[in-house]
Amino acid sequence: MTPLRSRLPLLAVGLAFAGLSQAQAQLGTADNSSPINIQADSGIEWQQNQQLYIARGNAIAVRGPATIKADTLIAHYREVEPGAVVNAASTGNNTEIYRVEADGHVTITRDNRTVVGDHADYDIDQGIGIVRGKALKMTTASDVVTARDALEWYDAKQIAIARGDAVAVHNGRTIKADVLTAYMVKAAPSAEPGKSASPPKPAPPPGKPGVPAAANDEASKIDRIDAQGHVVVVNAADIGRGDYGVYNAGTGICTLLGNVTITRGAEVITGQYAVMNMNTNISRILPASTLPGSTQKRVTGLFVKQDMPGAAGGAAAGAAGSAAAAKPAPAAGKKP
């Protein structure tokens, strides 16, 4: 038991670091020396031959404000040569964690971000995390992203990808597609009433390849969404469809390309290229994009006449009055 006891702190470091980079740098902290706490109801197992650490039963890894929870947490480690450059998940004693898995009821939280799924797999060397399972969801203060097949996260580019019936909801606007690629940016938290906003913090020094940047007090939010395949954009009464789409969260403008339709109630306009301004509710549909070589196709529209409230009743009353006026008067001396 003595060797196992000596390895438990190393497992804690490895597992918590894995959560750090999984899904939007969920477990990133500005101080790599922050203490790690890991707990598991059914204990922690060390498999030396397979080079694995396994925490089972409501496993929880906590580092600062970040937490990863799962039924089971598995850390894969490897031997490194003395003096070799190791990744940020080095456990010391010439070993380092290079991959971490979370299995069963996975929940990853960091500040205002939460990712849930059934299984998470993070490659520390590449800085790439993938979450799979049912009811996949990523939430921030202003955004909700769901997917059927997978949620992916790329540390270096700060990009999240939702695959399979992907849906993103941003400030009440909905974007759906086969695949959604969300480009994230940091947003400083709003100042409390009566208090001025804190001055911006200096940028942290560059980190090692495959290691996410240190976290700060800023919250992540979606800056842009690229949509591919069966794109649907919903904004109030307007619904836009196309083969491809790009939504700019800052300007509120969505561009659709390929077999485009814009509908509002029973009215439909079709074309090959559209620009929807979701702030002004003004849409422009064009026969083709401005790109060279774009296929020209006439824009067509179907506009349905809509009677004003009470128009039908007024028309009926007017028709009755006209009929009465047209009826001939009875002859003198005869009763009607």
Architecture in CATH of 156-190+218-304? Sandwich (2.60)
pLDDT of residue 299: 74
Helices (H), 119-237: none
Question: What phi and psi values does residue 111 have, to the nearest 5 degrees?
Answer: 55, -115
**What burial class does residue 295 get, using C-beta atoms within 10 Å of its C-beta: 0-12 exposed, 13-18 middle, 19+ buried?**
exposed
CA angle in degrees (0–180, nearest 5) for 252-26-69:
125
Question: What phi and psi values does residue 237 have, to the nearest 5 degrees?
Answer: -85, -10
Helices (H), 122-255: none
pLDDT of residue 226: 97
Read off the pLDDT of residues 206-229 as tens digits, 9 standing for 90 and up: 444 433 344 444 667 889 999 999
Q: Are 246 and 230 in contact (CB under 8 A)?
A: no
Helices (H), the chain: 2-25, 311-326
pLDDT of residue 325: 47
- Decide: helix, strand or coil at residue 287: coil
Average pLDDT, the chain: 74
- Output 264 or 95, whichever has higher pLDDT: 264
Quote the percentage of the chain above a pLDDT of 70. Answer: 62
Going by C-beta distance under 8 Å and a sequence separation of 6 or more, which residues neighbour residue 40? 55, 56, 57, 58, 59, 60, 73
pLDDT of residue 303: 65
Rounded Cα–Cα distance for residues 163 and 285 (Å): 28
**pTM of the full structure:** 0.71
Rounded Cα–Cα distance for residues 136 and 113 (Å): 14
Buried b (16+ CB within 10 A) or exposed e, 57-86: eebbbbbbebbbbbbbbbbbbeebeeeeeb
Question: Where along the chain do its domains lie?
Answer: 1-134, 156-190+218-304
Q: What's the one-letter identity of residue 252?
A: G
Q: Are 56 and 43 in contact (CB under 8 A)?
A: yes
Whether the per-residue pLDDT at 32 is higher than 60: the answer is no
Question: What phi and psi values does residue 68 have, to the nearest 5 degrees?
Answer: -130, 130
C-alpha count within 13 angstroms, C-beta hemisphere, residue 298: 2
- As separate numbers, helices (DSSP H) first and strands (DSSP E) second, the chain gives 2, 19
Read off the pLDDT of residues 249-305 as tens digits, 9 standing for 90 and up: 999 999 999 999 999 888 888 988 999 999 998 888 888 766 566 666 677 766 666
101 pairs with which residues across the strands?
74, 121
pLDDT of residue 214: 42
Give Cα 139 distance to the centre of its chain: 7
